[in-house]
Structure 1
Amino acid sequence: MGLGLAFLASCSKEEITVADTQPQNSTSNNQAEVSSESVVRRGQSYIILSSTDNLPSDLASQMQAANGTLTGELSGAGLALATSTDPDFAAKASRISGVRSVIHDFTYQGFAPNSARDVEAVTESDNTNPATSADNDRFFPLQWGHTAIQAPEAWNTGARGKGALVAVLDGGFDLTHPDLVANIAGSKSFVPGEAAQFKGSAFSHGTHTAGTIGAVDNNLGVVGVAPEAKLLLVKVLADGGSGSFSWMIQGIYYAVSQQADVINMSLGAAIPNSSKYRDDNGTPEDTSDDKWVNDTKEIQELLVAISKATSYATKKGVTVIASAGNDANNGQRDKNLVHIPSGATDVISISATGPMGWALKPLETNLDRMASYTNFGTSDVEFAAPGGDAAYPGNDIASIAGVTQYAFAFDMVFSLTSQGRYTWSAGTSMAGPHAAGVAALIVGKAGGQLDPSRVRAIMRASADDLGKPGRDPYYGYGRVNALRAVSQAF
């Protein structure tokens, strides 16, 4: 989930023009919050949950007998998808032997489309990170997140993610971006009517997250945390950020089938357990016949459905990482809010850190300050990672590596966007990819195909314990550390 402002930069100009706009503070009121009004029940689309990891035999004919049409079977995960115009379909299908429950699919806003402000850039400059082969990449000095997690030091040991495959489940991607294309192992879209390629010139959330994980070290723009890892780009959200949970489930299942080592999901919805939800009555484009429903059990079963998918992935050897969400919510106190997918079984949930005023004092500013928007809670956060923040107040102007901009912009995460360009953005969406990149470095160091429990243990043993000793509500077990992670015994 990404939030705040995005700034676009091209490599075609020698000077930078500061946009004539005012900075905005990041508070819980301007984040990618998902309310019950933005989570809509799909009146004629269903998710079938099996009582076990196996599906009942002859499920298609049994669905037909219940006045439904089976549209997908995820064998091994105990999940299936169906459609029906019969209002009693769920009740009928639930009576099939071996079926645990039948629930509606839901649409949700997985991330908020960022507003963009064009900034023309840049001039060359020296690198402020430790010397590595990446020091010729033009925007590498802006990647303070790499400094925070000691990624350059990890590269200097030879760990660069080679041999790891990371599946990025997100919105559309710029499949031709020069900083990305060489590391793309494949792409697929589960969004009906939309290809995996991002369309238009707006901010591309998927391209940004993919770039943080695995942008190529090519002496051009930015560098990913794991610059030699391969990327499987899976579109499960429309370019505008909306999607259905069934698309997420299918994306997870597909990533497993392609033998991904890591899944990153910088997306999600914070859904109240007890609330009314709009039902689209099978006509999402026409709201005139919508109705409102209240089904707490259905939301609980939705989390179970996602958990069946994530558990399946973990059993198949995939480390699953998701952003914790941008609601500034204390999960320990607000038990009513269910965050999906970070709250699902076996998912490593990532909170966000971000400096304030880094560009003004780059050697003195705390890079591990908790971001103003991040969700938190001892049981809700496993690790923290750089996500950026736009909370710096005022109109101060700063310059880093020949780039001049408002100081608050530099506190966000700099990565890729559409049409071969680059952008700043902030959110736990940006934190998750930093952690996924570290996971890819671990898998690559191990030679590939490392058991998720081992990846998790190494991340835990190597994290910098910045909060209260042990697991705390903000940093979890600590902020991820790439150098310490690849220095562990394998």
Structure 2
Amino acid sequence: MSDEGRTDNQKPKPQPRGRAKPSSQPERSKRQQPVEVASRPQRYMVAALPQMQLMTMGVTTPPLSPAALLRMLEDDPRVDVRRRLVPSRATLFGTTGTSVPEIVVADMDFEHARTLRQSLPQVRIEQDRPLAYARVTPLPERPVATGFVQPLGNLCTFDFLVRDADGDPFPGVTITITGTLRYAQGITGRDGRASVTLIGEVPEMVQSVLFDPPAGHWNLKLDRPLLELGRDNVIKLRELSETFPDFPRQQIFGWGQRAMSLDRVAPTFRGKGVKIAIIDSGADIKHPDLAGQVTDGIDLVEDTAAGWAVDTVRHGSHCAGVITGADNGLGILGFATEAEVHACKIFPGGWFSDLIDALDYCIDKQIDVVNLSLGTLEGNSFVEDKINEARQTGVACIVAAGNTGGPVNFPGTLPTVLTVAAIGRLDTYHAESSHGSEAMEPLTDDGFFAAKFSCHGPEIDVCAPGVAILSSVTDRGYAVWDGTSMAAPHVSGLAALVLAHREEFRGEFRSRDARRVDRLFEILKSSCTELDLGDPHRTGAGMPDALRALGTVSTGMAPTPSADIRQILEQLLAVLGSPSATSPQSVAPMALTPSETPAAPQHAVVDEIGVRNELMRLDQEMYAAGLTGYAPDPLA
């Protein structure tokens, strides 16, 4: 939202952006004052409809101007105005085919909102609802009610001591106990200890315990654990480096990126010139994999200049690592390492109105791809209109399907976005972790499975890796998470590569309009590897493939690279890789004649990296043309 969209004459005046700023040391007098608990008001978005829309609706009441509506709400004693959402500059100057009017965000009780709806037909009023992350909060199976009920007064408190792989106390570990009737949770303190109380059950009724660390280690799920009362139950977690040798000192591709053939793409394809926005919880730009990668943004939580660079909940940093993790030889590697990445911070506590604000930022900044790893069960026409407006300006929204295991969450239900479901693969996680419990049958021959948590339905466009995804989190850490939140960034990163490196987006589809977005989505879907997982509504077109998505568009059979050329390059690579080949100069020039390839120079001196890049390029052409002789094993 632009600066002119803010108002200072609100009553009572709220904190910036409608949030109460946290205080590390609240005033003692305030802490001691008792407060009577009452029902809180609901938050609404209110907009005056333009005359053309009123005529279409058959409303004859004269329209209200945005200024008149704002004054009316400010003067209403039953309404607390929070802020205004001024349309993007693209809308103000008429460069889009749609228009979302100026919105007033205000608190009022439900009855008063209903009265306003009835008395003001020229005004649209919709509830502003909170959004949720599309990351799975690791939980064991749901409690199963039994044929008997324990008395609620029965308290069962378990003490835990959690240690890291070195045997030191592990703070910040979330512990979830699942009984037959309900859950109970706790978090370890600095001493690695936590007490968790299960109400109405006894130790023998505990089904499982899950230990979810903040970073650096695998989570641990214990089924039917033997827990003791009155003493510490000691747990030791396993480091990620047990599965990923020498990590993070050694940089690795995630299993999901390999499954989507990113490791087979030439390293010159890095997304340069494309702008990506991650609407989430910010990004920790001090992380070695995000430093210099996420370079701009906006803070819609505290409204501070650099607040977007602080991520208190780690979710946005995890998504950012998948999309743009730096190629620095350490940690993880993202899809689009040379793209311009923006962090639009709306979490913690994001609302529909914040999403609209963030999308206006994306329209103004001419963002190309927006990653939305968020959602809700309720729809909203203001958000729907804003996403359509973004599409009209060439902004492609890629959305997580949601993690409720049921119908697709909003805004993934919209036809103007690309909606991503989550899949997993066997043997990509530690056997003692919770990730394996997300596997659904049937499995493919390669071990792919649909994730239990992933929302599904006809709105699913594609699926992507979303189980046991390793990426960056705050405080220089790394964590393995599940969720359609993790699947969507895989597709967003690939979308950036497609826009940056397919020639048609510098030609026919260069203009920033809906045709450009639709063509991008068409390419991603047509590149997919179909996965037979028993229900097409869980996979859509399948899993996008980077080699196919980046391949040359052709109306007929693409030209086939000469097998002789490839053999020559492989022989040259063997020479360059031998101990005697210490430098490019130690290899004699090799002439490639015009009969072998019209594009080859008559005389060329190449090094090992150059040869490897050329082999990747040839593989990519063959694979994109449907000639599977050189088709890579994405999981090799």
CA contact (8 A) 2:324 2:333 kept: yes
Pick one of 497, 514, 522 that aligns with 1:457.
Answer: 522
Question: SS at the partner of 2:449?
Answer: coil
Match of 2:419 among 339, 343, 349: 349
- Return the letter of the residue paired with 2:536: D
1:188 and 2:195 equivalent? no
| Alpha-carbon distance in structure 2 between the residues aligned to 1:237 and 1:219 | 30
Quote the Cα distance in structure 1 between the aligned partners of 2:299 and 2:381.
24
Provide the C-alpha distance between the structure 1 equivalents of 2:87 and 2:373, rounded to a whole number of angstroms: 23
Alignment deviations for residues 112-157 of structure 1 (CA, whole Å, 9 cap, x no partner): 6664425356499889xxxxxxx9972415x11011100111235x
Partner Cα separation in structure 2 for residue 328 and residue 44 of structure 1 = 28
Give 1:484's match in structure 2, choosing from 536, 545, 548.
548
- Give the counterpart of 1:467 among 528, 532, 539: 532
Structure number with the bigger relative contact order (C-alpha 8 A, sep ≥ 6) is 1
Q: CA deviation at 1:199?
A: 5.3
SS class of match (1:489): coil
* Paired AA for residue 146 in structure 1: Q
Shift of 1:348: 0.8
Q: Does 1:179 align with 2:289?
A: yes
Aligned to 2:449: 369
User: For the aligned residues, what is the CA RMSD?
Assistant: 3.5
Aligned to 2:130: 107
CA distance in structure 1 between the partners assigned to 2:41 and 2:528 by the alignment: 41
Q: Supply the AA of the counterpart residue of 1:376.
A: H
Residue aligned with 1:307, SS: helix
Distance 1:159 1:220 in 2: 19
**Which secondary structure does the structure 1 equivalent of 2:278 belong to?**
strand
What is residue 142 of structure 2 aligned with on the other side?
A: none
CA distance 1:124–1:457, change in 2 (3 Å):
closer
Q: Deviation digits for residues 348-388 of structure 1, max 9, x if unmatched? A: 11001101223689xx97353211211111x2200001101
Q: Percent identity?
A: 25
Q: Which has the larger radius of gyration?
A: 2
Would the alpha carbon gap of residues 475 and 124 (structure 1) be closer, same or farther in structure 2, given more than 3 Å must change?
closer
**Cα pair 1:355 1:365 within 8 Å, conserved:** no
- Against the structure 1 CA distance between its residues 246 and 45, is the aligned structure 2 distance closer, same or farther, given a 3 Å change threshold? same
Match of 1:244 in 2: 351
Counterpart Cα distance in 2 of 1:63 and 1:359:
54
In 2, distance between residues paired with 1:53 and 1:245?
25
Offset of 1:191 from its aligned partner?
A: 1.5
**Is residue 68 of structure 2 the alignment partner of residue 61 of structure 1?**
yes
- Residue 429 in structure 1 maps to residue 509 in structure 2: no
SS in 2 for 1:233: strand
In structure 1, C-alpha distance between the alignment counterparts of 2:281 and 2:388, rounded to whole Å = 23
2:331 counterpart of 1:221: yes
**Structure 2 counterparts to residues 91-106 of structure 1, below 5 A:** 91-92=115-116, 99=123, 101-106=124-129
Instruction: Give the Cα–Cα distance (whole angstroms) in 2 for the partners of residues 64 and 159 of structure 1.
Output: 53
Distance 1:445 1:170 in 2: 26
| Per-residue Cα deviation, 1:263-301 (whole angstroms, up to 9, x for no partner) | 001111224xxxxxxxxxxxxxxxxxxxxxxxxxxxxxx
**C-alpha offsets along residues 402-452 of structure 1, whole Å, 9 cap, x if unaligned?**
xxxxxxxxxx00000001111110111000000101111111113675710
**Superposed CA offset, 1:56-106 (max 9, x none):** 77312233235365622225341413325586356447766754x211212
Q: What amino acid does structure 2 have at the position aligned with 1:232?
A: H
**How many equivalent pairs are there?**
372
- Residue 254 (structure 1) aligned to one of 339, 351, 361: 361
- In 2, Cα distance between the equivalents of 1:136 and 1:423? 11
Unaligned segments of structure 2, at least 5 residues: 1-38, 55-62, 92-98, 139-173, 175-211, 218-238, 432-443, 555-636
Partner amino acid, structure 2, of 1:306:
V
Distance 1:52 1:149 in 2: 49
Q: Which amino acid aligns with 1:462?
A: S
Contact between 2:283 and 2:294, CA under 8 Å: does it hold in 1? no
CA 221–163 in structure 1, closer or farther in 2 if over 3 Å, else same: same
Correspondence for 1:304 among 378, 381, 389: 381
Partner of 1:88: 112
Q: Deviations over 1:448-482 (max 9, x none)?
A: 7571011011112211122389x931211111111
1: distance between equivalents of 2:476 and 2:491?
A: 24
Q: Give 1:247 shift.
A: 0.8
1:234, 1:444 → 2: CA distance? 22
Q: Give the TM-score taking structure 1 as reference length.
A: 0.67
Matched, 1:320 2:397: yes
Normalized per residue, which structure has more helix? 2
CA distance in 2, matches of 1:164, 1:208: 20
Residue type at the aligned position of 2:399: A
CA distance in 1 between counterparts of 2:269 and 2:52 reads: 36
Secondary structure, counterpart of 2:338 in structure 1: coil
Change (3 A) 1:121 1:387: closer
Q: What amino acid is the match of 2:361?
A: Y
- Report the secondary structure of 1:223's partner residue: coil
Match of 1:267 among 367, 370, 374: 374
* Structure-2 change in CA distance of 1:88 and 1:64 (3 Å): farther
Distance (whole Å) between structure 2 residues aligned to residue 413 and residue 365 of structure 1: 21
CA distance in 2, matches of 1:268, 1:44: 18
Q: Secondary structure at 1:243's aligned position in 2?
A: coil
1:292 aligns to what?
A: none
CA distance in 2, matches of 1:155, 1:53: 52
1:286 corresponds to: none
Asked whether 1:149 is paired with 2:149, we answer no
Q: Unaligned regions of 5+ residues in structure 1, if any? A: 1-39, 128-134, 272-301, 332-337, 389-411
Is the contact made by 2:276 and 2:342 (CA closer than 8 Å) also made in structure 1? Answer: yes
Asked if the contact 1:462–1:488 (Cα under 8 Å) also holds between the matched residues in 2, the reply is: no
**Structure 2 residue matching 1:369: 3-state secondary structure:** strand
For residues 529 and 70 of structure 2, the distance between their equivalents in structure 1, rounded to whole angstroms, comes to 51
- Counterpart position of 1:416: 472
DSSP-derived class of the 1:435 partner: helix
